[in-house]
Amino acid sequence: MSIQANKVLDAKGLACPMPIVKTKKAIKDLEPGHVIEVQATDKGSTADIEAWAESTGHHYLGTVEEEDGLKHYLRKASDVESRGENNHQKVVNLDHLQQKLDGHASVVILDVREPAEFAFGHIPDAINIPLGELSDRMDELNKNEQIYVICRTGNRSDLAAKKLSEEGYDHVTNVVPGMNAWEGTVEEQK
């Protein structure tokens, strides 16, 4: 498959959230309607970039998987198409979540990282639904429960929290900065 891109961005070797951070900066320099090719090796970047594009109004065209990595293609939206980036309105820090857990509050912890990330360490009893699968699996969650969404840094969880809220989940909170700074109890999958 040969796709003509107006700009190529090398994000190989970078893990979340860096492919998104670099894409945000690079897409600002593009003309509306132009296409950027984001080269990445992080498998989780596909769901991240697709969700980010959806949340901002840019057009996610698709991803091509090659031997040396992934090539994501996005079309920059015009000002009319672009929604601008919004952070989810309900946000708490890790200390707040830890206090809820210490107080045995009835909460659901939704971890939207990829299964491999989850396997190497997650909050006990957390539910793992990767961001890229959330649209197809959100019916596994109860709309009436308090849901705390977490990822590695807070970016994917922000996108997931917004998506859940848009689908009528009223008790959703994004947890920042995420598992990379979590000092509480962690389980590993065996």
Among 77, 72, 51, 82, which residue's Cα sits nearest to residue 158? 51
| 160 within 8 A of 187, measured Cβ to Cβ | no
The structure tokens listed for 20 are: 């998104």
> What tokens appear for 179 in the block?
């598992």
Number of Cβ atoms within 10 Å of the Cβ of 13: 11
151 is catalytic: no
Tokens of 111: 């971890």
From the list 9, 11, 16, 160, the catalytic residue is 16
Please report the beta strands in the chain, taking only residues with DSSP state E, as ranges in sequence order: 7-11, 35-40, 59-66, 69-75, 91-93, 108-111, 127-128, 147-150, 172-176
- Supply φ then ψ for residue 73, to 5 degrees: -120, 130
Q: Which of 118, 190, 100 is nearest to 156 (CA)?
A: 118
Residues annotated as catalytic are 16
